[in-house]
Structure 1
Amino acid sequence: MAAYPNSPPVQQTIKLPAPSGACTVSITAALEQRRTCRTICAKPLSRQLLADLLWAACGVNRPEGPFGRPGRTAASASNSQEIDLHVAMRDGAYRYDAPAHELVQVATGDLRGYALTPGQRSANPDMPVHLIYVADIHRLTHSTGFLEPGLQDPETQKSYYYVDAGMVAANVYLYCAAEGLAAWFHNCDRDALALRLGLRQEQRVLFAQSVGYREEI
């Protein structure tokens, strides 16, 4: 699969295992356990856990959704699916391709430090996974869904992509609560990430979310 324009050459594509569907925790129990936890240890997530996490966040859950596009686990304005998840790990940064359920490498090297602001870097620098939320404005302005006038207005666009990013982040929080993982939604070094991820002008880094096992204190 081709990289986005202006992005670094793709080094590798990681095909993720199918979602396991193994979680047996009820939605009520997950809501009871949902919380922010900033003490995250360096233990890596298994490939299956990572696959399940990304699918829960914004994966394809039905082949036919609104306006003729596949449906996702997280809603979006006119089903524009304008929120991309980039995943920063020790060995590089990847974009989650939800329809293919795979990770496409967009940068080499460890970018996890840029997923935190300078004031947050006192946290464990070896947290294994940082999800980076990127809005693609082009998908809002060129939606195949209902072309309401607000999709062309920058302030209305902003309200949509912030809400849509929040829906994905809420899915991540619930999945982590059900699996006993720690999750922390936070700010990030937007300019540095945009540069290193090779984003286009129409793309915006919004926030990051750190995920891993809880550090025992």
Structure 2
Amino acid sequence: MKKIIFATTLIFMASFIFAQDTKNIALKTPQLKKGLPLMQAFNNRKSVREFSDKELDNQTLSNLLWATTGVNRPDGKRTNPTAMNKQEIEIYACLKSGAYFYNVTKHSLEFISDKDCRLNNAPVTLYITADMEKSSERWANIDAGIVSQNISLFASGMGLATVPRGSMDQNFVKEALKLGKNKILILNHPIGYPKTENKVSK
């Protein structure tokens, strides 16, 4: 009887892990030659709070996450600097299908929960969090600001809309993202296409 219970438990655990894996999202290779020149992106940057219903495709989502805090060198360093290279900043993406953790090393989205924690009716909301076991709150806040600017400039250069925000339902978001006690929420970025799309050269 004990063997049957043990085997049943193993099957259940394996099924749960498999179900989680099938909900993960493998992202495409980032496109490094796309969007507006940097100075034009600066010129076009603005906060936008209204979005169209158009979803971001896998390629655009891949480009966005890589620009936010992706690995851009063989030594594992990223598109965003952090104090003393602590790399304490972590990104969570909330989509229509649920909440995901951005695995920087694998460049993939790992399913966290089916909670809908998108904001401002945007198709995607990125949450900027920090692992406080790696850094202090002072440096984490500064590093989060740098990541926020990466997101803003990416959106501007790609004809997308976004706005950096500090307000959110902390308890709900922490539960949706299953954040541990050492993780803090700092900023969020609803992001998508504006209601009136900007034309961007390809």
TM-score when normalising by structure 2: 0.83
Query: Which structure 2 residue ranges, 5 or more long, are not aligned?
Result: 1-15, 198-202
Taking the aligned partners of 2:53 and 2:140, their CA distance within structure 1 comes to 31
SS in 2 for 1:200: coil
SS in 2 for 1:62: coil
Query: Which structure 1 residue ranges, 5 or more long, are not aligned?
Result: 1-7, 65-69, 117-122, 141-156
SS in 2 for 1:196: helix
Matches within 5 A, 1:197-208: 197-208=177-188
Q: CA deviation at 1:63?
A: 1.3
> May I ask how many residue pairs the two structures share in their alignment?
178
Aligned to 2:67: 56
Matches within 5 A, 1:53-202: 53-64=64-75, 70-112=76-118, 116=119, 123=120, 125=121, 127-140=122-135, 157-186=136-165, 187-202=167-182
* Cα pair distance change 1:185/1:24, threshold 3 Å: closer
Aligned sequence identity (%): 30
TM-score when normalising by structure 1: 0.77
Q: CA deviation at 1:182?
A: 0.3
Q: Deviation above 4 Å: which 4+ runs of structure 1? A: none
Contact 1:190 1:206 in 2 (8 A): no
Q: CA deviation at 1:14?
A: 1.3
Aligned to 1:143: none
- Which residue identity does 1:160 align to in structure 2? W
* Cα pair distance change 1:174/1:94, threshold 3 Å: same
Deviations along 1:137-182, one digit per CA (max 9) or x if unpaired, are: 1122xxxxxxxxxxxxxxxx11111111111110111111111100
Larger Rg: 2
SS in 2 for 1:48: helix
Aligned to 1:45: 56
Task: Please report the RMSD computed on the Cα atoms of aligned residues, expressed in angstroms.
Answer: 1.7
Taking the aligned partners of 2:180 and 2:155, their CA distance within structure 1 comes to 31
Q: CA deviation at 1:203?
A: 0.5
Deviations along 1:84-133, one digit per CA (max 9) or x if unpaired, are: 11000111000111111000011113222xxx4xxxxxx4x3x1000011
Contact 1:38 1:182 in 2 (8 A): yes
SS in 2 for 1:81: coil
Contact 1:131 1:208 in 2 (8 A): yes
SS in 2 for 1:133: strand
Taking the aligned partners of 2:92 and 2:191, their CA distance within structure 1 comes to 13
